[in-house]
Structure 1
Amino acid sequence: MKIKQFLIAFFIIFAISNSFSQDKKFKIHTVAFYNFENLFDTINDPNTYDEEYLPNKGWTSKNYKKKLDNLSRVLIELGTDENPANSPVVIGACEIENRGVLEDLVKQPRLINKGYKIVHFDSPDKRGIDVALLYQEKYFTPVSYTNIPLYIYKDGKNNGKKEEKEKEEETDDAVQVDESTQRIYTRDQLLVTGYLEGEEISFIVNHWPSRSGGEKKSSPNREAAGALNRKIIDSLYKINPKAKIITMGDLNDDPTNKSVKKGVGAVGTKEELKPLGIYNPMEKMHKQGIGTLGYRDSWNIFDQIMLSEPLVKGDYSSWTYWKANVFKKPYLIQNEGRWKGYPKRNSNGVPGFSDHLPVYIYLIKQVN
């Protein structure tokens, strides 16, 4: 009899709570990150290593236009499974040659009506690849933005020392070293603070140093990048302990690597998350074998979006994190050849989408 009464009470409570939940309405916004994989124009820039992407190497205007069309298809569809009314309001991006290619991208037929605007700075990377932020002007209003350089050195003394004048040696991405200072040139970290429909949120866009030369040997460079990222986060927390911060990018490391776990101090569960902390929803995905790029029959999730504690443990009266995902539509996957089963990359002069899959999160807010 007691069991029967308990079950009746349980179903009554469930029905009441369900009726209340059905009355609640939420607004959803998508925030995404995508490595565009060498979004280069066809114009020779004497100040960067862009020779691989020129018409005499097969990178024609036709190929460039196809690449833009491919990327626009992805961006307009990102996050629309749960948010069919709109593409991402904010998109972090990397592997961009210059502002011009972004201007061409946001003018693509699929995107032009979204009114995407651009925040971009030239980085010291000699290949000319930068990070950037795209945003829909009707939803997000930037109030400040800056590029923050990462100072790392070939001798391992990544102490952030800044030289007043530095000579760049023309070498590839892995060894862009100034012989006089031993500085390795890499991408800046982009910080943008603004208002998402009236609520202040800061975004940090990253593209950390590669694993060229080996994961272990190159790890200190990414650890330095993680430490810089944490320094930026702490500076925002110092101004406002309730700061809402989203840091995202191609980190060239997984969520469990030292650069992320120790450098940024990110945790993989909400239970571990403390005030002034950072939550990484991609850590759980990584442990489940989900990835954004494949190599030698294994997957890594180098592309990550992490969030400050107030975005994760807040209530739904303001913008709050809901869930994260990897965007893996069939058309993004190579179905034949050497890269079968992996993201459909640029190959033999033929434009693909990217050798990385994009990632995205949903922010939700109760509207009644």
Structure 2
Amino acid sequence: MTNNEGKELIAFYNVENLFSPDPPPVHKLDPTISGLRNWDQRKYTNKLFKIAHVFELIQETEGVLPLIIGLSEVQGQKPLEELVALPPFNSTYGVIHFDSMDERGVDVALLYDQTKVEIVSAEPITYFFEISDNNPSNYDTTRDVLHCRINYLSEIINVFVLHLPSKREKNINKPKRQYILNELRGKITDMISRKNEAIIICGDFNEDPDDEMIQNFVRGENLDKILVNPSLELFQKGKFSTFHYKSGLLFDQIILSNHFFEKSSSLQFKESKVFNHHKLATWDEKFSTRPFRTFAGSRYLGGYSDHFPVLTEFTNSLKTKNE
């Protein structure tokens, strides 16, 4: 048995604006579909190759490609299909994506290894927020939460991919994040109590693992721990996936149900990590621990993303027993 026999990975990656190129504007100041500045075919192609290269590095470093990959900050189906056509995916990965009602058209998605995973069902969970009590039709929207039920080795696993509303304008979106997490926790609690199915929640939470909102999310109504967040230990060790000014943040997290810590599970948790490979970091020595981003504000840098991917490693207990 080689070192990678029985090893499986799950990944989440905020890919920072993986959008199709904009058509040439009629007028110089015309608004663009992407909302980005001069987002043309050359920059788009570079972006695709950069994101594909991240997963080549993961395969090179970890010895395997992830079983499933949650993505955020994607816009439309086309970039995802063109991404999985590239090495190292080589069209062996499927794509699950729904257009959300987000005002910028920014979505989440799931890529999955079609040789190992069967999609049982997939649906977007959409949230609406009233702006005015006097006008119910006046509402705000945000990115959907993607819910997929997958079959892996005859075991059903519920996978949720999310990108919660961002921290901006004095954290005006905090109530929205709280509402979505509360609703999601209710759904997850019901799944665990009724069906005892496995749960994976991966995404950009726009909250660190030690924030009260996340701490409450992993607990049930009776404060019993229904979920495990291995990202908390990473954060406490100073492992960050993104940065804001001088602050290191771990908004990107993969949270698991207790199922993956039981001997009966076909996937048994081993460890979580931030994939902060040196090739994904900025060239500036002063900020060498930070991701090499595509944009700094409106200025194009040509990097990978303003986030590092996060990984969770599992042992395939059924395969290792049969070796």
* TM-score, normalised relative to structure 1: 0.77
The equivalent of 1:203 in structure 2 is 159
The equivalent of 1:301 in structure 2 is 250
Pairwise CA distance, 1:181: 4.0
Pairwise CA distance, 1:359: 0.3
Which structure is larger by alpha-carbon Rg, 1 or 2?
A: 1
The equivalent of 2:28 in structure 1 is none
Whose strand fraction is larger, Structure 1's or Structure 2's? 2
User: Is the 2:280–2:304 contact (alpha carbons within 8 Å) kept by the matching residues of 1?
Assistant: yes
Q: What secondary structure, in the 3-state scheme, does the structure 1 residue paired with 2:104 have?
A: coil
Structure 2 stretches of 5 or more lacking a match? 26-30
**Deviations, residues 195-251 of structure 1 (Å, cap 9, x unaligned):** 113222110000000111123x4321111121122123123224312x111001001
Structure 1 residue corresponding to 2:215, chosen from 243, 253, 261: 261
Task: Report the aligned-residue RMSD.
Answer: 2.9
Structure 1 residue corresponding to 2:45, chosen from 59, 65, 74: 65
Measured at CA, do residues 139 and 273 of structure 1 come closer, stay the same or move farther in structure 2, by a change above 3 Å?
farther
Measured at CA, do residues 25 and 99 of structure 1 come closer, stay the same or move farther in structure 2, by a change above 3 Å?
closer
User: Is the 1:39–1:96 contact (alpha carbons within 8 Å) kept by the matching residues of 2?
Assistant: yes
How is 1:220-235 mapped onto 2 (pairs within 5 angstroms)?
Answer: 220-235=175-190
- Range with greater deviation from structure 2 (58-67 or 37-46): 37-46
Measured at CA, do residues 135 and 45 of structure 1 come closer, stay the same or move farther in structure 2, by a change above 3 Å?
farther
User: Is the 1:343–1:355 contact (alpha carbons within 8 Å) kept by the matching residues of 2?
Assistant: yes
Pairwise CA distance, 1:265: 2.8
The equivalent of 1:77 in structure 2 is 57
Separation in 1 of the partners of 2:59 and 2:216?
30
Separation in 2 of the partners of 1:96 and 1:78?
20
**Deviations, residues 98-118 of structure 1 (Å, cap 9, x unaligned):** 0111011111133215x0101
- Range with greater deviation from structure 2 (339-348 or 326-335): 339-348
User: Is the 2:275–2:308 contact (alpha carbons within 8 Å) kept by the matching residues of 1?
Assistant: yes
State percent identity of aligned pairs: 28
How is 1:168-187 mapped onto 2 (pairs within 5 angstroms)?
Answer: 181-187=137-143
Separation in 2 of the partners of 1:204 and 1:332?
26
Structure 2 letter corresponding to 1:143: V
**Deviations, residues 146-187 of structure 1 (Å, cap 9, x unaligned):** 1111233446x9xxxxxxxxxxxxxxxxxxxx9754522101
How many residues are matched? 309
Measured at CA, do residues 208 and 179 of structure 1 come closer, stay the same or move farther in structure 2, by a change above 3 Å?
farther
Q: What secondary structure, in the 3-state scheme, does the structure 2 residue paired with 1:261 have?
A: helix
Measured at CA, do residues 184 and 25 of structure 1 come closer, stay the same or move farther in structure 2, by a change above 3 Å?
closer
Structure 2 letter corresponding to 1:280: N
Separation in 1 of the partners of 2:24 and 2:257?
39
* TM-score, normalised relative to structure 2: 0.87
Structure 1 stretches of 5 or more lacking a match? 1-21, 158-177, 267-271
Pairwise CA distance, 1:80: 5.2
